[in-house]
Chain A
């Protein structure tokens, strides 16, 4: 699948498949920007702001979005979201999940249920909650409870990974 991606990325415009080690190099320079709207139910972090690049972790893999990206709909998995507003400045958030949509008019809309800057998380709390969730997931509750707990485990593990690779 990755080879197919490489082929299609040659044909299409500016789609980078980046590993968790962030690739800041882009085909478009700081002059071409994409309008980003990153909104949470209780707060909007970006509202139609021009940014250079956005790296997000989609269910299908990590990807970076530059200006004039083709329209696409991606489901997000719990992970880090990095926004590069201009050359050199980047900010990171941990996103719990949601959808990212690139529209035909060069705008990227991300609806996330919860997102917070990485600095706001405490590793201790993450470790404690992860242990508890694992206990419930492996315990003998109802199927629904175990499923919810396993989703929790996934989020906490992704959070730990994001915090460790800051």
Chain B
């Protein structure tokens, strides 16, 4: 009887390992702890594995709403230095039966953010190979922000143009009134073919070097 009990004790993990290794319903998991946390990285050991198995059990519980899932239902194998391994989930009612891949995938997808935060990792650094991460919904705006900025700018420019045109119009009106009232004084202003000199505003003129009394020409 003792031999039988001993056989059972040694056989069950072996059987469990076989279930895990041979299974097609398993998922490969990969953790990149050092990449994510750098100097604050924790050591991967048995306790961390224990935590992992309990989070997956928790995910299965939430998904199937059965409180019977336990940590013994989560089997792990192919542990490597990379910190990657394969896990399978067995049914709580029948430990020889495995939960199909699709069920496990659904459970993990729904609770990914809880599993991530348990390990201080993200979707990039805690990978379930074969389960794509659910991306965050894009931010939708009621009014596009660019339209708001556009509206402000075009409003300012429109005001600028209207102001300019109005000031031009009022200047012209004032000039017309002045011209009507002061037409006798026009003859006093010298208009020289509308060239640069009239733009000088009444100065004496511009010194033109070509006509200067340059000494080097007059000395003999």
Are A and B genuine complex partners? no
B interface vs A, CB < 8 Å? none
A interface vs B, CB < 8 Å? none
